[in-house]
Amino acid sequence: IGRINMIERTLSNKIKEIAQFFPVVLLTGPRQVGKTTLLEEISHGQYSYVSLDDISQRELAQKDPALFIQNHTTPLIIDEIQYAPELFTYIKIYVDTHKNQNGLFFLTGSQKFQLIKGIQESLAGRVAVLDLLGFSYKEIINQAHTSPFLPTEEWIENTRTSIREKNLNPLTVQDIYEIIWNGSFPRLVCQKNNAREIFYKSYLQTYIERDIKDSHNISDSITFYDFIRAVAARTGQLLNYAELARDVAVDPKTAKVWLSVLERSGLIQLVYPYYNNITQRIIKTPKVYFLDTGLCAYLTGWDSPKTLEAGAMSGAVLETYVFAEILKSYWHNCKEAPIYFYRDKDQKEIDFVIEQNSTLYPIEVKKTLMPNESSIKNFNVLEKLNKPVGHGAVLCLKPEVLSINRQVTSVPIWAI
């Protein structure tokens, strides 16, 4: 556990900055991604702490929230706030009677959308909502202070310089798939041992029994587990509700509800196609991505990095890993992640399109050491959308940053 504290999180300084302007900070994310550890590190032991995993504290918070608040001094970290949404009104009262004081409450929760509903009703304008996922590769190699990934010429030049000056070791394909297979949960990153399988088995059991069955009224935990596995097998693919429902013998309406549960829990993210009214030929179906590739690999039964790299999911899980890393680079810098993909009815596809300042940046993910012009053959379809098209990137296994042409650069996957 000690090594977890040695890895600095990108979000760390951002929380300190934001707490100077907001009385309440809510840190959301899946279970076990390090939310509590991060807040405790920021507090340097100077904040009060209470967890609503503690049944007695939870009961007090639910039945007498005013007394609960009165019993604790601020600044106060309240862990797993979703168990007592009754607290939101009383946090509001406390904040409103301590005007001009910020950084009073630091809340964590693993049910983002459920929490935001309570916040909109009680704490609107008083709370900053931040997202935390597992470790990014940059955090693991002690490069936490990095900007969001956007393949501008400035970002590319800074990355090229950083690789050279910091003498960063390039990762082989075997290295990358080991990272993908192991996953990004802090306990697994910091305590590499033979506990991976038992960790994920216990994680899913806890998730289903504690977070899902009661709060979402899902009684058939076996079928729900099969559903999670079916979603994991489709990571990086277009979402087909009817096919997904058929595979686990539930109706499409149930499949939609269960998928929204996985999204609210921070286990998956839906990515939508970039679309405007100029062209009607773009497919509107979203793609689904697991946010931890280790959990995805466990659910789909790959027993080693080698079998995963050689198997049928090799390309999809690599794309999934890249998506999660790009997403972390935005969320951990407290920024929205304007990530889309492009696919039209002519089967022309671009893995990711990032929109920034009304400019579209095309990105391809390739499991290759030799990216070339064929890797970017579809980039020109963006021109028909009547928006400026920025510098493009091919994220691949090549160990250095090199130009493919004037408008596109190949970037090592581990450099994002």
Tell which wins on pLDDT, 85 or 115. 85
Are the C-beta atoms of 230 and 247 separated by less than 8 Å? yes
Torsion of CA 21, 26, 28, 34, to 10 degrees: 80
Cβ-based neighbours of 119, under 8 Å, separated by 6 or more: 26, 88, 127, 129
**Alpha-carbon distance 375 to 405, whole Å?**
12
Are the C-beta atoms of 354 and 336 separated by less than 8 Å? no
Give DSSP secondary structure letters for 319-380.
HHHHHHHHHHHHHTTT----EEEEEBTT--EEEEEEEETTEEEEEEE---S---GGGGTTGG
Query: Cα 15–111–84 angle (5° rounding)?
Result: 90
Q: Greatest CA span in the chain, whole angstroms?
A: 66
pLDDT grade for 2, boundaries at 50, 70 and 90: very low
Are the C-beta atoms of 395 and 402 separated by less than 8 Å? no
pLDDT in tens, 220-268: 889 999 999 999 999 999 999 999 999 999 999 999 999 999 998 899 9
DSSP-derived pairing of the beta strands 359-365 and 105-109: unpaired
pTM of the model: 0.94
**Alpha-carbon distance 106 to 49, whole Å?**
9
pLDDT in tens, 25-37: 999 999 999 999 9
pLDDT at 113 over 90: no
pLDDT grade for 4, boundaries at 50, 70 and 90: very low
What percent of the chain has a predicted confidence (pLDDT) above 90?
78
Are the C-beta atoms of 110 and 210 separated by less than 8 Å? no
Instruction: Give the pLDDT confidence score for residue 270 in this predicted structure.
Output: 96
**Alpha-carbon distance 255 to 213, whole Å?**
16
Instruction: Give the pLDDT confidence score for residue 278 in this predicted structure.
Output: 56
Question: Of the ranges 20-29, 104-113, 386-395, which one carries the lowest mean pLDDT score?
Answer: 104-113
What token pair was written down for 35? 């939310």
Cis status, amide bond into 252, omega within 30 of 0: no
DSSP-derived pairing of the beta strands 287-290 and 237-238: antiparallel
CA atoms within 13 A on the CB side of 355: 13
**Alpha-carbon distance 291 to 257, whole Å?**
19
Q: Name the strand (E) or helix (H) holding 178.
A: helix 173-182
pLDDT in tens, 324-348: 999 999 999 999 999 999 998 888 9
**Cα–Cα nearest to 341, from 329, 349, 332, 331:** 349
pLDDT at 116 over 90: no
Instruction: Give the pLDDT confidence score for residue 347 in this predicted structure.
Output: 85
Are the C-beta atoms of 395 and 366 separated by less than 8 Å? yes
pLDDT in tens, 171-191: 999 999 999 999 999 999 987
Q: Is 184 helix (H, G, I), strand (E, B) or coil?
A: coil
Instruction: Give the pLDDT confidence score for residue 135 in this predicted structure.
Output: 97
Q: Is 165 helix (H, G, I), strand (E, B) or coil?
A: helix
Give DSSP secondary structure letters for 184-225.
S-HHHHHS-STTHHHHHHHHHHHIIIIIITTTTT---HHHHH
pLDDT in tens, 257-284: 999 999 988 999 999 999 876 565 677 8
Q: Is 168 helix (H, G, I), strand (E, B) or coil?
A: coil
pLDDT grade for 214, boundaries at 50, 70 and 90: low
**Alpha-carbon distance 40 to 77, whole Å?**
8
pLDDT in tens, 342-400: 998 888 999 999 999 999 999 999 999 999 888 899 999 999 888 999 999 999 999 99
Placement of tokens 């130009």 in the chain: 403
12, burial (CB in 10 Å: exposed 0-12, middle 13-18, buried 19+): middle
**Alpha-carbon distance 276 to 382, whole Å?**
11
**Alpha-carbon distance 351 to 382, whole Å?**
13
Question: Of the ranges 42-56, 99-113, 246-260, 312-326, which one carries the lowest mean pLDDT score?
Answer: 99-113
Instruction: Give the pLDDT confidence score for residue 275 in this predicted structure.
Output: 82
DSSP-derived pairing of the beta strands 392-396 and 408-412: parallel
Are the C-beta atoms of 374 and 344 separated by less than 8 Å? no
Mean of all residue pLDDT scores within the chain: 92
